[in-house]
Amino acid sequence: MGDKYLDTIKKIAELVQEEKIQEAVDEFDKIPIEQMTDLDLLLYGTLSFEVKNYSRVIDIFENKVDKRVRVTEILRIMARSYEELGKIDMANKYYQDALATGEEYPEIYFDYAYALDEQGNIEEAIKYYKKTIEIEPKSFWAYVNLGSIYEKQDKDIDAIEYFLKAYELDKTSSMVNFNLGVSYVKLKQYDKGLEHYLLELKTDKPYPYTYYNLGLLYKNYFNDFTKARLYYLKSIDSVGKLLKDNKDLEKLYYSSWYNLGCLYAIYNDYANANDCFKYIYYKKKKYLDYIYDDEELKDYRNSESFKELDILLGGNDEK
């Protein structure tokens, strides 16, 4: 092993210490791989994982490094890499190999639970999330993800139990406060739902749906026109700023406009209702699909104000 090799390894160690991971990987790339020791190969593969070069990770750990030095963490990294490459069967194999070592790392149980959750294997995901918590009672994301599973299953009492555990660990989490708001509202505990939605707005990065859900809450349950309008407008403003970089929020944006229009219509402000609905018509007509079937718009549809919009929409043979 020559001085040049040792100098490069020393430089890599310094770069890792400085958290310059991509630069460290670039230095590794300069070394002929057949010259690397197993220890250096392990570091090369691990750093490659951090910079998301998953194909290289697999090549190093499958073909270059001695299989006898595949410690539990390496098996986990291999599983994660196969998962990122869409090779689910291989990912599951290596998760199971990592678990078979008997070393109870919470990260392994959590990652496997998350993978199973993504694959739709919900019962197994629940089992491994719970195992994560058994090993590490402060696993914030295990509580959040378990709560989310139960909320999707409409088991909101169970969901709240796990969300509250996460809340105890981090009261400033946008996702936890938002999810608590959702589950409390579903259980018709509107005051508690409101409390957590408002707490969510105090976090550093409020969840995009919070303003919208608050608009629904004030409209449907508290019958407060002023606050419902305020939060629909805030939803339109906040989501509109994000829309350019996140097209997935388009439905939320136009739903906010639609619900604002419904709010005006319910309170007999048909002029503003028309303005909202016309805006949607000229921007994204498809988001007006429900206007003829929406029960709360019955009086509005029978009004003179609706006729102009009806003409734009081309009428409805079934209305």
Model confidence pLDDT, tens digit, residues 206-257: 888 999 999 999 999 999 999 999 999 999 999 999 998 899 999 999 999 9
The radius of gyration computed from the CA coordinates of the chain, to the nearest angstrom, equals 27
Report residue 205's pLDDT band, with 50, 70 and 90 as the boundaries: confident
Compute the mean pLDDT over every residue in the chain, rounded to the nearest whole number. Answer: 93
Report residue 2's pLDDT band, with 50, 70 and 90 as the boundaries: low
DSSP state of 68: G
Average pLDDT over residues 138-155: 98
List CB contacts of 84: < 8 A, sequence separation 6 or more.
52, 54
Distance of CA 255 to the CA centre of its chain: 20
Does the pTM surpass 0.75? The reply is: yes
Query: Which tokens hold the place of 2?
Result: 């020559």
Please state, for a pLDDT cut of 70, what percent of the chain lies above it.
98
| Cβ count within 10 A of residue 31 | 16
User: In whole angstroms, how far apart are CA 40 and each of 48, 53, 65, 193?
Assistant: 12, 17, 9, 52
pLDDT over 90 at 7, yes or no: no
Q: Identify the pLDDT of residue 1.
A: 56
Report residue 152's pLDDT band, with 50, 70 and 90 as the boundaries: very high
